[in-house]
Amino acid sequence: MLLDDLNEPQKQAVSHIKGPLLILAGPGSGKTRVITHRIAYLIEQGVPSWEILAMTFTNKAAGVMKERVKNLVHGNCYSFISTFHSFCAYILRQHCEILGYQKDFTIYDTDDQKRALKHVLDILNIDVGSNVNNTLSRISYYKNKGMEPRDIPSQNYNIWSKQFIRIYTEYQKYLFQNNALDFDDLLLKTVELFTNYKDVLNVYQEKYKYILVDEYQDTNILQYKIIKFLGEKHKNVCVTGDPDQSIYSWRGANIGNILSFENDFPETLVVKLETNYRSTGHILKAASHVIKHNQLRKDKELWSIKELGNLIRVVEVPEEMDEAIFIAQEISRWKYNYKLRDIVIFYRMNAQSRYLESALRTRHIPYIVVGGLAFYQRAEIKDILAYLRIIINEKDDVSLTRILNVPPRKIGKKALETIYAMARKYNSSLMEVMQKDETLSLLSRQASHQIHIFLDMIESIRNMTDTSLVERVTTLLKTSGYADYIEKQDQKKDEDRMENIKELLISIQEYEKVTKSNDLSIYLQNISLMESTDKENAKEEDYVTLMTLHSAKGLEFPIVYIVGGVEGVLPHQRSLDAEGFEELEEERRLFFVGMTRAKERLTITYPKETMRYSYNWTGGNMHSNDPSRFLDELPISSIEKISYNTYNRERFY
């Protein structure tokens, strides 16, 4: 029954049990369906479900996979289906003590990392100005390459390189002292564990005899090593992906992992999923025509089950403002035949959204910019989570620093400096030195008193282990004064903040109901592992979606617009200036991904002129654009060229 509704290549991929398998899945070819059917088929053939490990990149994708498998097997499935980071967090919870960490370690997100780095910079007396994000990105770059500070080559060091190694070294030391790991550490420390402790590795090689990896083209070197470690014994490794959709090299993804899979596992069966169920014939033909200009790929012949459909429109406009007006005018007409959520506008860079937003706003067209502030990134939510983190992990200085004076407790700057100095003196956490009589004796009576109250409050909630999470958080809101603090703020300004807090309590209640668990540590782990890019859509509103092309993966829309089809934008100028062809090929893959999100209609626009600001900040000037080379690669038989001009256009700012 599991094979009945699959095409022949899909059946072949699902029914291959023993040995390595590479599934080359073109866009819209039913990849997720194949993966879930394969898991169900393995179970049907007698493979214990708990011997199956499936990994992907987003919580949403993992959730979809779990639900579909559950429906297919008509019962309980004990397969481990998760993101890479969740899997690694699970491994490290079991064995982190070998590496010197306690099991209740905190997982730092981006905001926590910034706080930690700023503290490190203060200790080192290093000023990086506004380059905190760049410094963290550089740390992440080396971690994703599997490199600790000691592994960075020392030749040809300049002053900044030496300084960076000091920062990286102290940053890792600080995380260790705080019993904390960042997201990259989850992968890095798992690789360290598997490399140095073969007995631990053997446990998981025997536990997970069948391994499936989704979107394998997006794996970095650490994820690659984890899969290779786990699969080298039984070799039952199945990876799915498409080199033509590898667009994340900037965050460490290595296209070479999927291109060399057959070298890593010589007996690999290769199955190509080439039937597209998403896009019309013209869209797929054009996309295939463009991507064949790349060298770093595995050839596929994509074909659509749909009719040719509408021609792809390539629209020339005078400038970016006209680009936005043209699209807004069209959407005003589309909305009578389509829902607004059927429409997406893709751009290469976030800065390109300004005109689009203005044009949509002018015509009263609702829209959402993907990448806005997510629920768990809102300040009041971060505050409460910081309280909860310090309750389970008193070494977490980042969380303590965030909430020690929130709400205001009159613990002044001088008192804080004293506490920091004592922490450095004893090489201890802030919480540990705050409990020392020696520290308190150095503080003012008021500061000492407030710290006593704070410590007592934290300890009392820490001892509420027999109560529900909701009760603990409710008690925390009251006893910490945080609820009163929010309510006393300007009501109009902070009404949403209180509603967010109420929504958090509802989500905790739902979590406990589903999981039947009041384990605060595991709850916080689940929150930490939620991707900041996950969109919170509590209300079912109808809106046009705006997003970068890098956010397009895994999505589909009946109507797609791709704007800014000019040299220097798409492809990006950085790829044009780079040595070699790799970066330019990734830009072409990015364009390919954007094109193949379209189900029915695809429009590509490009402005003849663009306003650009001078490098010396003296003002902006209009510059002529060259149409993107990717437009010249589109087959003439599948496109319609349009020149759009508006002389009495509406102006907006």
Which of 112, 170, 214, 586 is catalytic? The answer is 214
- Crossing angle of the two packed helices 491-515 and 469-479, in degrees rounded to 10: 150
Q: Which residue's structure tokens are 């700023």?
A: 118
- Crossing angle of the two packed helices 198-207 and 183-196, in degrees rounded to 10: 100
Instruction: Determine contact, residues 38/49, Cβ cutoff 8 Å.
Output: no
pLDDT value, residue 490:
45
Which of 106, 223, 245, 603 is catalytic? The answer is 245
Which of 104, 215, 244, 586 is catalytic? The answer is 215
- Crossing angle of the two packed helices 110-124 and 132-144, in degrees rounded to 10: 110
**pLDDT (tens digit per residue) in 86-137:** 999 999 999 999 999 999 999 998 889 999 999 999 888 887 655 777 789 8
Range 220-240 burial, b when 16+ CB lie within 10 A, else e:
bbbbbbbbebbbeebbbbbbb
Residue type, 263: N
Which of 38, 497, 589, 597 is catalytic? The answer is 597
For residues 166-195, average pLDDT: 95
Instruction: Determine contact, residues 83/529, Cβ cutoff 8 Å.
Output: yes
Confidence check: pLDDT of 198 > 80: yes
pLDDT value, residue 542:
87
pLDDT value, residue 369:
81
Confidence check: pLDDT of 54 > 60: yes
Residue type, 298: K
Q: Is 56 in the active site? A: no
Confidence check: pLDDT of 615 > 70: no
Confidence check: pLDDT of 652 > 50: no
Residues 652, 638: Cα–Cα separation, whole Å? 34
Which H or E run contains 328? helix 320-334
Q: Is 32 in the active site? A: yes
Confidence check: pLDDT of 168 > 70: yes
Q: Which residue has the higher pLDDT, 622 or 565?
A: 565
Which of 31, 143, 272, 629 is catalytic? The answer is 31
Closest CA to 7 of 239, 272, 215, 236: 272
Lowest mean pLDDT among 170-179, 532-541, 585-594, 598-607: 532-541
Q: The whole model's pTM is what?
A: 0.78
Across 30-94, the runs of DSSP E, i.e. the strands, are 52-56, 80-83
Closest CA to 526 of 632, 397, 651, 376: 376
Closest CA to 253 of 214, 293, 223, 213: 223
Q: Is 245 in the active site? A: yes
**pLDDT band, very low/low/confident/very high, at 172 (cuts 50, 70, 90):** very high
Q: Is 597 in the active site? A: yes
Q: Is 299 in the active site? A: no
**166: helix, coil or strand?**
helix
- Which two three-digit tokens encode residue 542? 């109808």
